[in-house]
Structure 1
Amino acid sequence: MYRVWNFLTNYSLLLIIGAVTALFWANTNPETYHHFVEFVIWEDAPIGHMHHGHRTLTLHYLVNDLLMALFFAMAAKEVWEAVVLKEGSLRGKKAATPLFATAGGMFGPIGVYLGLAFFMGSDTYSAVANGWAIPTATDIAFSYLVGRIVFGAGHPAVRFLLLLAIADDAAGLIILAIFYPSGELAPEWLLISLAAAILVFVIFNWLPRRMDKGNENRPNSTWVRKNLHFVPYAVAGAISWYGFMRSGLHPALGLLPIVPAIPHADRAFGFFSEAESHLHDLLNVIEHALKHPVEVILFFFGLLNAGVEFSSIGDATWLVLAGLLIGKPLGILAFGWFAAVPLKLGIPQGMRIIDLVVIGCVAAIGFTVSLFVASVAFAPGDVQDAAKMGALFSFAAAIVSIVVGKLTRVQKAELAPAE
């Protein structure tokens, strides 16, 4: 139990505290809560009668659109390593069945969400349809935590769940970029982001390594690393974020083009692996440096986004919950079974097909990313609040997972002492 608590404090505790505080505050004194959320940090004063270009920076914008870019960059780092590195978990045949299951874990919730909304009538459907992506999300940290409780840390289903969650994150980032722009689309601004990524990669990554070819001392790469460290990538990140913001895509995704440009290790040990703390490539060093600041950012994300009044529970709440608690397990079971049996791609040794149902229940914890999608899918108001409540209630999936695990007689497998 100590290891579970240690993991919780490392990755999720501040987020939970922020969300619980927001719920309590919004339901006891909603006026002061909403005033806090929209607190104006900075406002440029209009010159004379010229109001064009007048901008306001609120606390909500600072956290959701600017600081959350660091959270999505860390998620993108894990996806990038899983896809391109030699030991990447999303490479080769071993990733085939989890990737099929990921697709099921997205199409299942979408089908349930939109299908139920359609049967509720055209007015309801029109009001909630844009939230179809909310139940597709899987909160990696919370799902991993619950997965360890249900299966035990050494069970192959936990690794399967992680592969699924990482792939789900990758798909979620794509969905956010394509289907939920933050404003009028102006894709030409993305050329700035692309140029920043290419230039910083060529000048500060590829070129020093090219100049060091054949020299084991690697003087140029060492000089760049020692004297410039992360600074060129921070500058490129700021430029890329600005490009995303002006392009109309959600600026929280603005650091994604820079992640592949940063020097990285030639192998990956896996998400949440202790071994990664011993890697000294710049990408891992930056991730380790950002870990605690991102925890604080997630606290404020929970505080600013989870403050929903219980009176706002509505159709969107139940649709999000149904998408997660019904659509996820059914989709993951159907697509995972199809990959494992008819397509003969198999499942990891020590796993049963019925375990896919339990994995689907665990993956139904949407929370962080579901909250984020709800905040961009709907304008502030009753529907957004109802959808957010569904994302918060997805914690019920943890209890459902434990119960379903008992019913399906999951044999817990703890790590061997040597590990």
Structure 2
Amino acid sequence: MSSPSPTTTGGNRLLTSLRKDTVGGGLLVIAALTALIWANSPLADSYFALRDVEIGFAPWHLQLSLGTWAADGLLAIFFFLVGVELKTEFTHGDLRRFRTAIVPITAAAGGVIVPALIYTVLMTSHPQLLRGWAIPTATDIAFAVAILAIIGSHLPKALRIFLLTLAAVDDLLAIGIIAVFYTESITLIPLLAAVGVIIVYGLIAARWRTSFVDRAWAAWVILLPLGLIAWGLMHASGVHATIAGVALGFTIPALARRRRRAQDETPNLAEVLEHRLRPLSAGFAVPVFAFFAAGVAVGGFEGLATAFSQPLTFAIIAALVLGKPLGILASTWLVSRFTSAGLDPSLKWPDLAGVGLLAGIGFTVSLLVAELSFIPGSPEHDYAKVAILSASVIAALLAMLVLGSRNRRYRTAEGATLDVHQV
């Protein structure tokens, strides 16, 4: 057998690296920093001109700016993978068993409700800004998992499962909020057509293993065009087009690995699509969205001082950095105190405090909600972006301090246990 060519090997290594949480999170940081530096440089006009370039198909109401294409189009790939992961979790993962799932599910709900309440209370005297109440409710799963992977080599495995489940439910709640509260008007016929296409997509996906579509090319030749049509119709209906991505992801069958015959090594469709689309999402779609969403002209130190003096900025930072961990810890304590459900024995409250701080990294979905809450280019829109980026950095640093300390403690305990066994 001939060995792979260097090009093929290099391509495979690149795709493999893009499937790692740390790499995806790193690309997000690079894209956001690039946008911030460019938007505040002497070449700032070229950045905003690039973001506002319109391309597409005017007769189909798809003449959109590059920034809008990134938020409505590319981010749909990310949400499609969220839908696939949620389907897998609800079918065969931790969300399948009520006793296992109820604690992180309740924690996610608390991590949405408390930040929203804090923001609303702080913005009571500014009713024109109340529309941004959902900005601090989201958690950026890519950033959060990447940081946990970097600093949490000795933390309990149950902590990562808790974070993943919490973030998955958080994403589901954020999707519902976008669909319900940020859809101003609905055109019924395109919406019904989108639902019809999604149903057809799901029926074809369900027959992946038993029909003519059980071919490697079918995902691109059959499913991809149907997905694009569903996305276009959903966009035309007035419902945020990323909802189409989630709905399509939910239709993908997620077969349990243990149900496969020993001689049948063919991966199920959820695994195939996740394997192929993960590099595209982590390596291109989400970083490009971050690049166009994070660029805000802060106007130097004077502009930052102005931004940080705004009630909106303070409310978002307080809701993310304080509200997220407070909501997660309080709801977790309540459900474990007053129900039969409980935490994994390996988890301690300081560990959960670190995860609560990680959940304060809003970034991707928070930036998307900011785009929907305020008029792009308005002062409120820019203040919200500054607040989201600042809160994400603060939450990440605090989480690294807490979880880094916990990681050292677990590492020391493991070392002591090894020494005892060796003796």
TM-score between both structures, scaled by the size of structure 1: 0.82
Letter in 2 for 1:61: T
**Distance of aligned partners of 1:361 and 1:9 in 2 relative to their CA distance in 1, 3 Å threshold:** closer
Shift of 1:265: 2.8
Runs (5+) with no aligned partner, structure 1: 46-52, 210-219, 269-277
Q: Give the Cα–Cα distance (whole angstroms) in 2 for the partners of residues 72 and 41 of structure 1.
A: 23
Match of 1:68 in 2: 75
Q: Please give the residue correspondences for 1:158-307 in structure 2 after superposition, counting only pairs within 5 Å.
A: 158-181=160-183, 183-202=184-203, 204-206=204-206, 220-221=210-211, 224-226=214-216, 228-267=218-257, 280-294=267-281, 295-307=283-295
Q: Give the Cα–Cα distance (whole angstroms) in 1 for the partners of residues 50 and 113 of structure 2.
A: 37
Shift of 1:412: 3.3
Q: Give the Cα–Cα distance (whole angstroms) in 2 for the partners of residues 208 and 300 of structure 1.
A: 31
Runs (5+) with no aligned partner, structure 2: 1-16, 259-264, 415-423
Q: Give the Cα–Cα distance (whole angstroms) in 1 for the partners of residues 23 and 138 of structure 2.
A: 21
Show CA shifts across 1:252-281 (max 9, x none). 22222222333433259xxxxxxxxx9722
Match of 2:343 in 1: 347
In the alignment, is residue 25 of structure 1 matched against residue 48 of structure 2? no
Q: Give the Cα–Cα distance (whole angstroms) in 2 for the partners of residues 151 and 13 of structure 1.
A: 16
Q: Give the Cα–Cα distance (whole angstroms) in 1 for the partners of residues 55 and 198 of structure 2.
A: 30
Aligned partner of residue 246 in structure 2, secondary structure: coil
Aligned partner of residue 78 in structure 1, secondary structure: helix
Letter in 2 for 1:287: E
**Distance of aligned partners of 1:413 and 1:83 in 2 relative to their CA distance in 1, 3 Å threshold:** farther
Match of 1:84 in 2: 91
Q: Give the Cα–Cα distance (whole angstroms) in 1 for the partners of residues 129 and 213 of structure 2.
A: 54
**Distance of aligned partners of 1:260 and 1:279 in 2 relative to their CA distance in 1, 3 Å threshold:** farther
Could you tell which deviates more after superposition, 159-168 or 233-242? 233-242
**Distance of aligned partners of 1:44 and 1:316 in 2 relative to their CA distance in 1, 3 Å threshold:** same
TM-score between both structures, scaled by the size of structure 2: 0.81
Aligned partner of residue 123 in structure 2, secondary structure: helix
**Distance of aligned partners of 1:367 and 1:413 in 2 relative to their CA distance in 1, 3 Å threshold:** farther
Could you tell which deviates more after superposition, 245-254 or 307-316? 307-316
**Distance of aligned partners of 1:7 and 1:248 in 2 relative to their CA distance in 1, 3 Å threshold:** same
Does the 8 Å contact 1:367/1:395 carry over to 2? no
Shift of 1:67: 1.7
Shift of 1:167: 0.8
Shift of 1:180: 1.0
In the alignment, is residue 109 of structure 1 matched against residue 122 of structure 2? no
Aligned partner of residue 411 in structure 1, secondary structure: helix
Letter in 2 for 1:228: A
Show CA shifts across 1:128-181 (max 9, x none). 211111111111121112234554355122221111111101111111111112
Aligned partner of residue 41 in structure 1, secondary structure: strand
Does the 8 Å contact 2:74/2:286 carry over to 1? no
Show CA shifts across 1:57-113 (max 9, x none). 32112211112111111111111111122x344532111111111111011101111
Does the 8 Å contact 2:94/2:165 carry over to 1? no
Shift of 1:12: 1.9
Shift of 1:238: 1.8
**Distance of aligned partners of 1:31 and 1:250 in 2 relative to their CA distance in 1, 3 Å threshold:** same
Could you tell which deviates more after superposition, 386-395 or 152-161? 152-161
Q: Give the Cα–Cα distance (whole angstroms) in 1 for the partners of residues 80 and 20 of structure 2.
A: 21
Does the 8 Å contact 1:321/1:390 carry over to 2? yes
Does the 8 Å contact 1:82/1:91 carry over to 2? no
**Distance of aligned partners of 1:286 and 1:149 in 2 relative to their CA distance in 1, 3 Å threshold:** closer
Q: Percent identity?
A: 31
Q: Give the Cα–Cα distance (whole angstroms) in 1 for the partners of residues 213 and 200 of structure 2.
A: 18
Q: Please give the residue correspondences for 1:110-189 in structure 2 after superposition, counting only pairs within 5 Å.
A: 110-118=116-124, 121=125, 125-149=126-150, 151-152=152-153, 154-155=155-156, 156-181=158-183, 183-189=184-190
Does the 8 Å contact 1:41/1:59 carry over to 2? yes
Aligned partner of residue 329 in structure 1, secondary structure: helix
**Distance of aligned partners of 1:55 and 1:367 in 2 relative to their CA distance in 1, 3 Å threshold:** closer
**Distance of aligned partners of 1:407 and 1:300 in 2 relative to their CA distance in 1, 3 Å threshold:** closer
* Aligned residues between the structures: 379
Letter in 2 for 1:132: W
Match of 2:49 in 1: 35
User: Which structure shows the bigger proportion of residues in helix conformation?
Assistant: 2
Match of 2:104 among 98, 107, 123: 98
Shift of 1:44: 4.6
**Distance of aligned partners of 1:407 and 1:379 in 2 relative to their CA distance in 1, 3 Å threshold:** same
Letter in 1 for 2:238: G
